[in-house]
Structure 1
Amino acid sequence: MATEITKGVDQVSVGELYVSDKSGSDQDGDGSEDKPFKTPLKALRFAGKEPFPTIYVESQKEGERWAVISKTQMKNAKKAFNREQMKNDDKEKKEAEDNERREKNLEEAKKIVIENDPSLPEAEAVKIHKLEAKRGQRVKVFGWVHRLRRQGKNLMFIVLRDGTGFLQSVLSDKLCQCYNGLVLSTESTVALYGTITPVPDGKQAPGGHELHCDFWELVGLAPAGGADNLLNEESDVDVQLNNRHMMIRGENISKILRVRSTVTQCFRDHFFSCGYYEVTHSNTNDAQVS
Structure 2
Amino acid sequence: MSMTTNMLNLVEKDVDKAIESVQEYYSNIENNLDHVIEQLQRALSQPMSDSHLVKTSLQNTIKPLAKQYSDKHKELHGSISKIGKTIDKCFQSDFGNVPITELFDTPEKYKLIYMIICEDLYRQGRMAIADKLIEETKLNDNDLFNLEKNFLEEINTILENIRERNLLPAIDWCLRHRNQLNQTGSLLEFHLHKMRFVQLLQTENFQQAKTYLANLRQYSISKGQCEQEVNQLMGALVFAQRDLAKSPYKYLLEPHLWLQLSELFMQQAFQQVGLAQDSPLYVVMKIGFQALPALMR
Category of TM-score, reference length = shorter chain: under 0.3
Greater helix proportion: 2
**TM-score, with length taken from structure 2:** 0.23
Higher relative contact order (CA 8 A, sep 6+): 2
